[in-house]
Chain A
Amino acid sequence: MNELQLKVLELLKEDARRDADLIAAMLNEPVESVKQAIAYMEEEHIIVKYATVVNWSKVDDEKVTALIEVQITPERGRGFEGIAERIYLYPEVKSVYLMSGAYDLLVEIEGKNLKEVASFVSNKLSPIDKVLSTKTNFILKKYKQDGIIFEEHEGDHRLMISP
């Protein structure tokens, strides 16, 4: 990673819809260099995807999300990788992190309703060989995600014109 790539990345992280022309202007770099930097990072999967941050609580549905603490027995030779893969391949699983501390994997699961999540945990997750225990925490409200605050909390209170 060079400095230009890093700067491009930061600007895209703020707003993924910024195009190469705008980014080039903001960084005072040739458009071509910015395009190359983006292409390189896409190819290398540094930029994995351009996704939208959604405040689902404003969408009228029953969707629920849970964070599940999972304790597992690592496998000889593969550690946690094999089991993590078995878990993350389920489409219900939105994210999986290997953690330090009292448990091993933190698994984010999204379901249409509470029952669906509960059933996923008891029918899919817990029966996996090597999974020792699970602890399900339902998310009640998201305030901030990836550095983005969900509720508009601080508007622009400046005077329209000031010296």
Chain B
Amino acid sequence: MIKRVLSFCTVVFGVLSLTFLLIHLVPGDPVEVMLGESASTADREVLRAELGLNQSVASQFGLYLSRLAHADFGVSIHSKTPIIDLIKNRYPATLKLALLALLIGVGVGVPLGIYAALKAGHWQDLLVTIVSVRLSAMPAFWLGPMLMLIFAVWLAILPVSGMDSPSSIILPALTLGFGLSAILTRMTRTSLLEVLNEDFIRTARAKGLTERQVILRHALRAALLPIITIVGLQMGSLLAGTVITETIFSWDGIGRLLVESIEKRDYPVTQACVLLVALSYVVVNVLTDLLYRLADPRIRLGH
């Protein structure tokens, strides 16, 4: 456990350092790139001092860390508003989208996987497997436009993009959730099939439990463990996927904020977005790990 905490700390420190170093990777003078060549010398010096770029790298890093400790991400160069306010405005939208996508992924993927496992070898199983393999290979920038074309343009039952109506969230959430559900279908199927061969399932059947009880009470509980890990790991691609998906559907979340900041060369905002998404991912991974430990008594008790 101590080892885990230690490695968590080094990873967080590494993430902080790498995002800090980003601004130093800008070719040439970052201040000039951000303000443009026409900016006056006075303006440049103000920004340079604001970003601390006139100090040594070590003291810049110290300043960066101490600011972050006070939840101070700096000020946006473009809109002059504190970045923390921008993030507070945008983060809930991303969170909502990611959670709904997660819900779709789990809600569709796990039942489909169970169904495929129960029908193993039949045509239903084959169909589900083929479709899920194809779906999991579909990137957001292909699936998103296709869903948009079908449901918003041809059928015209859902809004094309934006976030004006409550149903606006459906298409982006589907875009994000589909891939996850495809992966979960395959994992649930494999995991459940493995468990169904175990001795305790035979015992459960032998003592006269109904098939429903065998599946729901005994098999599924054991089969869900690896699925928790997969969900945790997939949250990463979900979070990264929000960047593309939010851009396609004009969904005002962190991903779109990131893309906008890149277009405007507003590097402090870019830095803050990257840091936030990466840290969210690290936290999700830690939570997954904890959940896994709680769910599996073998690990919890250190066997």
A binds B: no
